[in-house]
Amino acid sequence: QVQLVESGGGSVESGGSLRLSCVASGYTDSRFLMGWFRQAPGKEHEGIALMIISTGNTTYADSIKGRFTISQDNAENTLYLQMNSLKPEDTAIYYCAAKPGVVFPPRPLSPAWYTYWGQGTQVTVSS
């Protein structure tokens, strides 16, 4: 059973930075897609950054492109999300999610594809 545990959330002022971490366990190979999603109050889950673990290929939502960077540390089974130039509209619960695979599916940032989810970490950006 794949388990995902996020950390690194917090409260920052507009323009600040945070780095989220997601430690993964319970799988035996790198044939997974892993990504970051968020849910703001009253809104649906939004996929924002995705990586094919075996190749390092990435894709981003337009809303965060150029500000957020997804990366991995294979030795530590950890996925990161570096968030810079944060805005109040980035306030949300951020989730790490994963699915088996080695290629991007159609509409890869759609939450419906993802089987495994972490518990989430709160990010609050004040103006």
- First-to-last C-alpha distance (Å) of the chain: 40
Report yes or no: 34 and 102 within 8 Å, Cβ to Cβ. Answer: no
Query: What three-state secondary structure class fits 86?
Result: coil
Model confidence pLDDT, tens digit, residues 96-123: 999 999 999 999 999 999 999 999 999 9
Model confidence pLDDT, tens digit, residues 18-54: 999 999 998 767 899 999 999 999 999 999 999 999 9
Whole-angstrom distance, CA of residue 64 vs CA of residue 55: 22
Q: How confident is the model at residue 75, as a pLDDT? A: 87
Q: How confident is the model at residue 27, as a pLDDT? A: 77
Q: Is the pLDDT of residue 127 over 80?
A: yes
- Kindly provide the b/e burial profile for residues 87-110, where b requires at least 16 CB atoms within 10 angstroms of the residue's own CB: eeebbbbbbbbbbebeebeeebbe
Q: How confident is the model at residue 118, as a pLDDT? A: 97
Model confidence pLDDT, tens digit, residues 54-87: 999 999 999 999 999 999 998 889 999 999 999 9
Whole-angstrom distance, CA of residue 31 vs CA of residue 10: 31
